Amino acid sequence: MTELNFLAAPGGVLRGQWRVPGDKSISHRAIMFGALADGITTITGFLDGEDCLATINAFRAMGVVIDGPDQGRVRVHGVGLHGLQAPAGPLDLGNSGTSMRLMSGILAGQAFDSVLTGDTSLTGRPMRRITEPLSLMGARIATGQRGTAPLQIHGGQRLIGIDYPLPVASAQIKSGVLLAGLYAEGATRVTEPAPTRDHTERMLEGFGYPLRRESERTVVISGGGRLTAIPIDVPADISSAAFFLVGASIAPGSDLRLEHVGVNPTRTGVIEILRLMGADIEVQNPRLVGGEPVADLRVRHAPLHGIRIPEALVPLAIDEFPALFIAAACAEGVTVLTGAAELRVKESDRIQVMADGLNTLGIAAGATTDGIVIQGGALSGGTVASHGDHRIAMSFAIAALRASGPIWIHDCANVSTSFPGFADLARHAGLDLREEAT
C-alpha cells in the first residue's frame, strides 16, 4: 500500500499574504444545519477536506440533495428536522470524530435505525462520552465492547430533555447533546466545566432556532422548533492558521499575514498562548461575518520563551497543541502543559506521539498523564512518525524551519482531512517541503 510522506528541508522564512482553508468545525455544522433546515442553504468558503466530505456523503445517503463543493461553494437543499430518510447501509465517516459525535445526536431523534462507522483511527476513539448522555435522554445506541464505533442507533425512541453537566470540556459532546435536544420533549440544559467552541450555539441562533444562555457555561434548548436556511460564509480555520502562526514566530526574518481567519473567542487560545511566550501577533481588521468574529492576523518572528500554560486556555487551544509544542521546542527555557488529558484520545495520542518525535529531533520532551514538559533547545533533523494524524504531520513539517537537518515525516495522507493543499501553500509561503510516495 502506498504511503505519503513529507520531506521538509531545514531553514526557510515565511512571508506573504495567504488565506488558509475554511474552518472545519463550521463547515461540518453548516452541512448538518443546512440539511435539517427548511429551504436552501448556500455556503461559501467551505473546507473541501475529507472529513467534511464525509459529512456531505452521509447526508446525501439520507436523501439530502447537496450541490458541490465547487471552489468552496456548496448548496444544501434542506429537508427539515424530520425529513431525513433511512440510509441503505452504514454511514462511513472516515476519520471525522466531529461527524460521528454530532450526528449521533441528530440520528438519536430519527424514526429509522442507522449505523455510524469510520476508519481504523475513528473506530478506536471513545464514544461512550456521547452515547451515555444520549441514553439518558432515551436514545438506544449500542457501541463496540470498548465503547467505540461502530455505533448502532435504534430509531423511533422518545427523547426527553435532560440537565447534563459535561464531565469533560468538549464542544463535540455539548453539540451532540444539544442536537438531540432538537428532537426531545422539554428543555435540554448543558453545562460545561470550561468554555469550549460555541459554533453550534451561534449557528442555531443564525438558523433562527431559539436557545437560552443561562450563564457563560450553561446553554438551554427546547425541542419543537424549526431551522430556516441562511447563507453561510465560512471563515479560514484558526487551527490551520496555527501552523503558520508558529512557523512565522520561530523562523527569523518571517513576516506573514493570514486573511479572514475565524477568531471566535472560544478558539483563540493559540494566539493567547503564543503571545504569553513572546510572539508578535497583530489582530487586524476585526469584523463579524455571519455571526462569527473574523480578522486578519499578522505574525512576525520573535524570540519565544517557555511558560507554564494556563489551564484555563487549554480548551480554547485543544486542537492547536501539536503546533504549540513546536513553538515550545524552539523557545528558551521550559514549557509545561497540564490539564490536557483530552489530547491522548484525539486522532492519535498527541501527547506521546509529539514527545516521541521531539525526542527524536533532539528536544527533551517528557509526556505526563495530562500534559507534557518541553525543554527548548536546538532541533536536529531526523525521521518521525505522524501515526496518521494530520496535525502531527503538519507540526513536524513546520519544525523544519528551525531544524539543522531535513525532517522526514511518515504517514501524512490524512493531512487532506483538514488542510487540503497544505504542502503547496507551505511551499509558496517559504517552507521547502516535498511530498514523497513510498
Q: What's 69's DSSP letter? A: E
- Residue 11's alpha-carbon distances to 68, 109, 325, 427, 431, in angstroms, are 39, 53, 18, 12, 8
Q: Which of 198, 319, 389, 411 is an active site residue?
A: 319
Residue 216 CA to residue 219 CA, distance in Å, equals: 8
Indicate the SS3 state at residue 433: strand
CA torsion, points 93, 98, 101, 102, in degrees to nearest 10?
-100
Indicate the SS3 state at residue 376: coil
Q: Which residue bears the cell 493567547?
A: 272
Active site annotation includes 319? yes
User: Strand 187-191 and strand 218-222: pairing?
Assistant: antiparallel
Beta partners for 38? Answer: 228
- For Cα atoms 3, 410, 418, give the angle at the middle one, nearest 5 degrees: 80
Q: What's 22's DSSP letter? A: B
Burial 88-125 (b: 16+ CB within 10 A, else e): eebbbbbbbbbbbbbbbbbbbbbeeebbbbbbebbbeb
Residue pair 128/155 in contact (Cβ under 8 Å)? The answer is no
Give the distance, in angstroms, between the CA of residue 27 and the centroid of all CA atoms in the same chain.
Answer: 10
- For Cα atoms 69, 71, 73, give the angle at the middle one, nearest 5 degrees: 50
Ramachandran angles phi, psi of 255, nearest 5°: -155, 105
Residue pair 356/380 in contact (Cβ under 8 Å)? The answer is no
Residue 21's nearest CA partner among 427, 428, 421, 433 is 421
**Catalytic amino acids?**
319
